[in-house]
Amino acid sequence: MQRRSAIKQVAVAFGGLMSLPAWASNWTPESIGSVSFLPVSDEDLLGELVETIIPETNTPGAKSLKVHQFAMRMIQDCYGEPAQTALKQGLVLVDQTAQQAYTKAFTACDTPQRLEVLTQMANASDPAAKQFVEMIKNLTIQGYRNSEYFMVNQLKYNMAPGFYHGCVSVIK
């Protein structure tokens, strides 16, 4: 509903003269859609990975903010074929690493075990494992920090009305 209130502010700025454009009422957060080039099980696994990197605490974690869908979409649409292959191979590698360490699937591991699997991969001599964790971690941070939740609540993002002050004291 952020969008609606922003449009209201436009209307207020114009003394209510502005009529709402057609596309304004058609928008929903879901209209972006999700990209599912991965099997459902892989998508779930990716969800658990991003959640391990940024978990739910008293505030939402990466999974409930759908950061895994963002990561998938970026790799599919923007990153090119080598990254798409790296994603598929990396997901296999995650389960392999979990099996070796704890003789169970990654999703069956508890939180410390999951963190250990990812840390192991990040420090592995295998460049594929290392690069995969790096790519997913970077996308998780990017997706999380640019999510509606983080931008509104943490960064206090507000599109308009805006202002600029060139010199403000840092609040200690």
Question: Residues interacting with other proteins, by CB under 8 A?
Answer: 2-3, 6-7, 10, 13-14, 17-18, 21-24, 27, 29, 32-33, 52-55, 57, 61, 70, 73-74, 77-80, 111, 115, 118-119, 137, 141-148, 151, 154, 157, 159-170
- Please say which residue, 89 or 119, places its beta carbon nearer to other proteins: 119
Give the nearest distance from C-beta 62 to other proteins in angstroms: 9
Give the nearest distance from C-beta 66 to other proteins in angstroms: 10
Which contacts of 128-135 are long-range, i.e. CB under 8 A and separated by 24 or more positions?
A: 128/86, 128/89, 128/90, 128/93, 129/90, 129/93, 129/97, 131/86, 132/86, 132/87, 132/89, 132/90, 132/93, 133/90, 135/75, 135/83, 135/86, 135/87, 135/90
- Please say which residue, 42 or 121, places its beta carbon nearer to other proteins: 121
